[in-house]
Amino acid sequence: MKHLLENPDFEKASEVLDEYLKRDFTIQMNGLCTVNYQGRAKSKLDRGERLVIKKQDSAILVHGPENYQPKNWQPEVDSYSVKVEYIEDEEMLVLEARRNNPDEVVEIRFESIDLLTVHKLVDKSDLKIRGHEVDIHEAIEDDPDIVEEGLNVVKREKETPAGFIDVFARDEDDQYVVIEVKRNPDYNTVLQLQRYVDEIEEEFSGEIRGILVAPKMTQKILDYLEDRGLEFVEVEMEDVISSYEAIDQSQKGLSDFGADYSTE
Protein backbone atom coordinates (compact mmCIF):
# COMPACT_ATOMS: atom_id res chain seq x y z
CA MET A 1 0.00 0.00 0.00
CA LYS A 2 1.35 3.43 -0.96
CA HIS A 3 -0.62 5.52 1.53
CA LEU A 4 -3.03 5.03 4.43
CA LEU A 5 -4.07 8.36 5.96
CA GLU A 6 -6.55 8.71 8.82
CA ASN A 7 -8.28 12.09 9.14
CA PRO A 8 -5.82 13.82 6.76
CA ASP A 9 -5.97 17.59 6.38
CA PHE A 10 -7.09 18.76 2.96
CA GLU A 11 -3.65 20.00 1.89
CA LYS A 12 -2.09 16.58 2.51
CA ALA A 13 -5.04 14.77 0.89
CA SER A 14 -4.86 17.07 -2.14
CA GLU A 15 -1.12 16.40 -2.50
CA VAL A 16 -1.61 12.61 -2.48
CA LEU A 17 -4.61 12.70 -4.82
CA ASP A 18 -2.86 14.99 -7.28
CA GLU A 19 -0.04 12.45 -7.57
CA TYR A 20 -2.10 9.25 -7.87
CA LEU A 21 -5.47 10.09 -9.46
CA LYS A 22 -3.92 10.18 -12.96
CA ARG A 23 -2.13 6.86 -12.47
CA ASP A 24 -3.24 3.22 -12.33
CA PHE A 25 -3.88 3.04 -8.59
CA THR A 26 -6.97 2.22 -6.55
CA ILE A 27 -7.93 5.12 -4.28
CA GLN A 28 -10.49 4.92 -1.49
CA MET A 29 -11.89 7.92 0.41
CA ASN A 30 -14.36 7.82 3.32
CA GLY A 31 -15.86 11.16 4.30
CA LEU A 32 -18.70 13.67 4.53
CA CYS A 33 -19.46 15.06 1.09
CA THR A 34 -21.96 16.30 -1.49
CA VAL A 35 -21.98 15.04 -5.08
CA ASN A 36 -23.05 16.96 -8.20
CA TYR A 37 -23.40 15.41 -11.65
CA GLN A 38 -23.79 17.31 -14.93
CA GLY A 39 -24.03 15.74 -18.36
CA ARG A 40 -26.92 14.13 -20.18
CA ALA A 41 -28.93 15.04 -17.08
CA LYS A 42 -28.30 16.75 -13.72
CA SER A 43 -28.35 15.27 -10.24
CA LYS A 44 -27.26 16.18 -6.73
CA LEU A 45 -26.59 14.18 -3.58
CA ASP A 46 -26.89 16.27 -0.41
CA ARG A 47 -24.52 15.98 2.53
CA GLY A 48 -23.82 12.44 3.64
CA GLU A 49 -21.04 10.09 4.70
CA ARG A 50 -19.92 8.12 1.67
CA LEU A 51 -17.27 5.82 0.29
CA VAL A 52 -15.62 7.07 -2.93
CA ILE A 53 -13.56 4.61 -4.96
CA LYS A 54 -11.37 5.52 -7.94
CA LYS A 55 -10.44 2.29 -9.72
CA GLN A 56 -7.33 1.44 -11.71
CA ASP A 57 -9.27 1.53 -15.01
CA SER A 58 -10.05 5.25 -14.23
CA ALA A 59 -13.70 4.63 -13.22
CA ILE A 60 -15.06 6.35 -10.11
CA LEU A 61 -17.89 5.14 -7.85
CA VAL A 62 -19.71 6.84 -4.97
CA HIS A 63 -21.31 4.48 -2.44
CA GLY A 64 -23.56 5.16 0.51
CA PRO A 65 -23.58 3.06 3.71
CA GLU A 66 -26.29 0.76 2.33
CA ASN A 67 -27.11 -1.11 -0.89
CA TYR A 68 -24.60 -2.71 -3.23
CA GLN A 69 -25.24 -0.25 -6.08
CA PRO A 70 -23.31 3.05 -6.22
CA LYS A 71 -25.26 6.27 -5.80
CA ASN A 72 -23.22 7.81 -8.61
CA TRP A 73 -20.46 6.62 -10.91
CA GLN A 74 -18.44 7.58 -13.96
CA PRO A 75 -16.83 5.00 -16.29
CA GLU A 76 -13.65 5.70 -18.25
CA VAL A 77 -12.85 9.08 -16.73
CA ASP A 78 -10.66 11.14 -19.08
CA SER A 79 -9.29 13.59 -16.51
CA TYR A 80 -9.23 14.14 -12.77
CA SER A 81 -8.58 17.37 -10.88
CA VAL A 82 -8.45 18.17 -7.18
CA LYS A 83 -8.29 21.48 -5.31
CA VAL A 84 -8.92 23.03 -1.91
CA GLU A 85 -11.58 25.76 -1.83
CA TYR A 86 -12.66 28.23 0.85
CA ILE A 87 -16.31 29.34 0.89
CA GLU A 88 -17.36 31.67 3.71
CA ASP A 89 -14.43 30.44 5.84
CA GLU A 90 -15.47 26.82 5.17
CA GLU A 91 -12.63 24.68 3.81
CA MET A 92 -13.56 21.99 1.26
CA LEU A 93 -11.67 19.53 -0.91
CA VAL A 94 -13.17 19.39 -4.39
CA LEU A 95 -12.60 16.30 -6.55
CA GLU A 96 -13.71 16.51 -10.20
CA ALA A 97 -13.97 13.56 -12.61
CA ARG A 98 -14.55 14.56 -16.23
CA ARG A 99 -15.50 12.46 -19.24
CA ASN A 100 -15.15 13.99 -22.71
CA ASN A 101 -17.42 11.84 -24.85
CA PRO A 102 -20.13 12.33 -23.82
CA ASP A 103 -19.35 15.50 -21.85
CA GLU A 104 -20.03 14.55 -18.22
CA VAL A 105 -18.68 15.78 -14.89
CA VAL A 106 -18.96 14.33 -11.38
CA GLU A 107 -17.97 16.87 -8.71
CA ILE A 108 -17.47 15.63 -5.13
CA ARG A 109 -17.10 18.23 -2.35
CA PHE A 110 -15.64 16.83 0.87
CA GLU A 111 -16.31 18.65 4.12
CA SER A 112 -14.20 16.09 5.99
CA ILE A 113 -12.16 12.98 5.19
CA ASP A 114 -11.96 10.11 7.68
CA LEU A 115 -9.79 7.76 5.62
CA LEU A 116 -7.72 7.95 2.42
CA THR A 117 -5.91 4.91 0.99
CA VAL A 118 -3.84 4.42 -2.16
CA HIS A 119 -3.07 0.90 -3.32
CA LYS A 120 -2.08 -1.07 -6.42
CA LEU A 121 -4.39 -4.08 -6.69
CA VAL A 122 -3.63 -7.22 -8.69
CA ASP A 123 -6.43 -9.70 -9.40
CA LYS A 124 -4.79 -13.07 -10.02
CA SER A 125 -7.89 -14.66 -11.56
CA ASP A 126 -8.14 -11.76 -14.01
CA LEU A 127 -4.45 -12.17 -14.74
CA LYS A 128 -5.05 -15.80 -15.64
CA ILE A 129 -7.68 -14.95 -18.24
CA ARG A 130 -6.43 -11.78 -19.87
CA GLY A 131 -3.32 -10.54 -18.14
CA HIS A 132 -2.88 -7.23 -16.42
CA GLU A 133 -1.66 -4.00 -18.03
CA VAL A 134 1.08 -3.54 -15.44
CA ASP A 135 2.49 -6.94 -16.47
CA ILE A 136 2.74 -5.73 -20.06
CA HIS A 137 4.53 -2.57 -18.87
CA GLU A 138 7.04 -4.66 -16.94
CA ALA A 139 7.51 -7.12 -19.80
CA ILE A 140 8.35 -4.25 -22.18
CA GLU A 141 10.83 -2.85 -19.66
CA ASP A 142 12.47 -6.26 -19.23
CA ASP A 143 12.47 -7.08 -22.96
CA PRO A 144 11.75 -4.09 -25.23
CA ASP A 145 12.15 -6.35 -28.28
CA ILE A 146 8.60 -7.65 -27.72
CA VAL A 147 7.50 -4.29 -29.17
CA GLU A 148 10.23 -4.00 -31.79
CA GLU A 149 13.86 -4.91 -32.22
CA GLY A 150 16.36 -2.29 -31.09
CA LEU A 151 13.92 -0.45 -28.80
CA ASN A 152 15.40 1.12 -25.64
CA VAL A 153 13.20 2.12 -22.73
CA VAL A 154 13.93 5.63 -21.42
CA LYS A 155 11.32 5.78 -18.66
CA ARG A 156 8.11 4.18 -17.41
CA GLU A 157 5.21 6.40 -16.34
CA LYS A 158 6.71 9.58 -17.76
CA GLU A 159 4.59 12.51 -16.60
CA THR A 160 3.15 14.99 -19.11
CA PRO A 161 0.39 17.62 -18.83
CA ALA A 162 -1.89 15.06 -20.54
CA GLY A 163 -1.15 12.32 -17.99
CA PHE A 164 1.41 9.55 -17.48
CA ILE A 165 2.92 7.83 -20.53
CA ASP A 166 3.06 4.06 -19.91
CA VAL A 167 6.45 3.57 -21.59
CA PHE A 168 8.70 6.27 -23.09
CA ALA A 169 11.44 4.90 -25.35
CA ARG A 170 13.80 5.43 -28.30
CA ASP A 171 13.91 3.19 -31.38
CA GLU A 172 17.01 1.89 -33.12
CA ASP A 173 17.17 5.16 -35.14
CA ASP A 174 17.21 7.13 -31.85
CA GLN A 175 13.69 8.45 -32.49
CA TYR A 176 11.44 9.04 -29.50
CA VAL A 177 8.60 6.54 -29.08
CA VAL A 178 5.48 6.97 -26.94
CA ILE A 179 3.90 3.63 -25.96
CA GLU A 180 0.38 3.27 -24.58
CA VAL A 181 -0.61 -0.15 -23.18
CA LYS A 182 -4.24 -1.29 -23.10
CA ARG A 183 -5.89 -4.69 -22.70
CA ASN A 184 -9.08 -3.60 -24.47
CA PRO A 185 -8.35 -0.47 -26.53
CA ASP A 186 -11.12 1.83 -27.68
CA TYR A 187 -11.41 5.23 -29.38
CA ASN A 188 -10.52 7.05 -26.14
CA THR A 189 -7.28 5.05 -25.97
CA VAL A 190 -6.27 6.33 -29.40
CA LEU A 191 -7.11 9.92 -28.46
CA GLN A 192 -5.08 9.60 -25.26
CA LEU A 193 -2.07 8.27 -27.19
CA GLN A 194 -2.40 11.19 -29.62
CA ARG A 195 -2.40 13.65 -26.71
CA TYR A 196 0.78 12.09 -25.34
CA VAL A 197 2.48 12.30 -28.76
CA ASP A 198 1.47 15.96 -29.09
CA GLU A 199 2.91 16.75 -25.65
CA ILE A 200 6.23 15.04 -26.43
CA GLU A 201 6.44 16.86 -29.78
CA GLU A 202 6.26 20.12 -27.84
CA GLU A 203 8.93 18.98 -25.39
CA PHE A 204 11.36 17.48 -27.92
CA SER A 205 12.16 18.43 -31.50
CA GLY A 206 11.76 15.93 -34.31
CA GLU A 207 9.10 13.43 -35.30
CA ILE A 208 7.58 11.38 -32.46
CA ARG A 209 6.22 7.87 -32.96
CA GLY A 210 3.15 6.66 -31.10
CA ILE A 211 2.57 2.92 -30.57
CA LEU A 212 -0.48 1.27 -29.02
CA VAL A 213 0.41 -2.13 -27.50
CA ALA A 214 -2.47 -4.55 -26.84
CA PRO A 215 -3.33 -8.27 -26.92
CA LYS A 216 -6.07 -7.62 -29.49
CA MET A 217 -7.43 -4.93 -31.78
CA THR A 218 -10.62 -4.35 -33.77
CA GLN A 219 -10.39 -3.20 -37.36
CA LYS A 220 -12.27 0.03 -36.57
CA ILE A 221 -9.78 1.03 -33.87
CA LEU A 222 -6.88 0.02 -36.11
CA ASP A 223 -8.23 2.29 -38.87
CA TYR A 224 -8.64 5.07 -36.31
CA LEU A 225 -4.96 4.65 -35.35
CA GLU A 226 -3.73 4.62 -38.93
CA ASP A 227 -5.71 7.76 -39.80
CA ARG A 228 -3.62 9.57 -37.16
CA GLY A 229 -0.28 8.11 -38.18
CA LEU A 230 -0.12 5.96 -35.05
CA GLU A 231 1.03 2.33 -34.87
CA PHE A 232 -0.18 -0.93 -33.32
CA VAL A 233 1.83 -3.83 -31.91
CA GLU A 234 0.09 -7.01 -30.76
CA VAL A 235 1.52 -8.81 -27.74
CA GLU A 236 0.79 -12.42 -26.83
CA MET A 237 -0.12 -12.78 -23.16
CA GLU A 238 2.00 -15.95 -23.01
CA ASP A 239 5.01 -13.66 -23.64
CA VAL A 240 3.98 -11.47 -20.71
CA ILE A 241 2.86 -14.06 -18.15
CA SER A 242 5.58 -16.67 -17.88
CA SER A 243 3.48 -19.48 -16.39
CA TYR A 244 -0.28 -19.87 -16.44
CA GLU A 245 0.19 -23.14 -14.57
CA ALA A 246 1.75 -21.30 -11.62
CA ILE A 247 -1.27 -18.99 -11.49
CA ASP A 248 -3.63 -21.98 -11.54
CA GLN A 249 -1.79 -23.51 -8.58
CA SER A 250 -1.99 -20.25 -6.62
CA GLN A 251 -5.80 -20.25 -6.63
CA LYS A 252 -7.51 -22.03 -3.75
CA GLY A 253 -10.51 -24.33 -3.83
CA LEU A 254 -12.87 -25.06 -0.93
CA SER A 255 -10.81 -28.10 0.07
CA ASP A 256 -7.78 -25.86 0.69
CA PHE A 257 -9.47 -24.13 3.63
CA GLY A 258 -9.60 -27.21 5.87
CA ALA A 259 -12.37 -29.27 7.45
CA ASP A 260 -13.67 -26.39 9.59
CA TYR A 261 -14.52 -24.25 6.57
CA SER A 262 -18.20 -24.13 5.59
CA THR A 263 -20.30 -22.23 3.08
CA GLU A 264 -23.37 -22.38 5.35
Q: Set out the domains of the chain in order of their start, with CATH numbers.
A: 3-119 (2.70.180.20), 125-246 (3.40.1350.10)
Question: Is 245 a residue whose pLDDT tops 90?
Answer: no
Per the CB < 8 A criterion, the answer to whether 59 and 49 are in contact is: no
Stated as kind and residue range, the H or E segment containing 154 is strand 152-160
pLDDT of res. 43: 87
Question: Which spans in 143-236 are helix H?
Answer: 187-203, 219-227
What DSSP assignment string belongs to 23-69? SS-EEEEEEEEEEEEESSSEEEEEEEEEEEEE-TTS-EEEE-SSSSS
What span, in angstroms and rounded, lies between the C-alpha atoms of 236 and 234?
A: 7
73 by Cβ neighbours in 10 Å (0-12 / 13-18 / 19+) ranks as middle
Determine contact, residues 52/33, Cβ cutoff 8 Å. Answer: yes
Flag whether pLDDT at 87 surpasses 50. Answer: yes
Alpha-carbon distance values, 46 to 32, 33, 71, 96 (Å): 10, 8, 11, 16
Please check the confidence at residue 176 and state whether its pLDDT lies above 50: yes
This model's pTM is above 0.95:
no
Q: What number is the average pLDDT over the span 227-233?
A: 93
| pLDDT, tens only, 66-80 | 988 899 988 889 999
In this prediction, residues 13-24 reach a mean pLDDT of 93
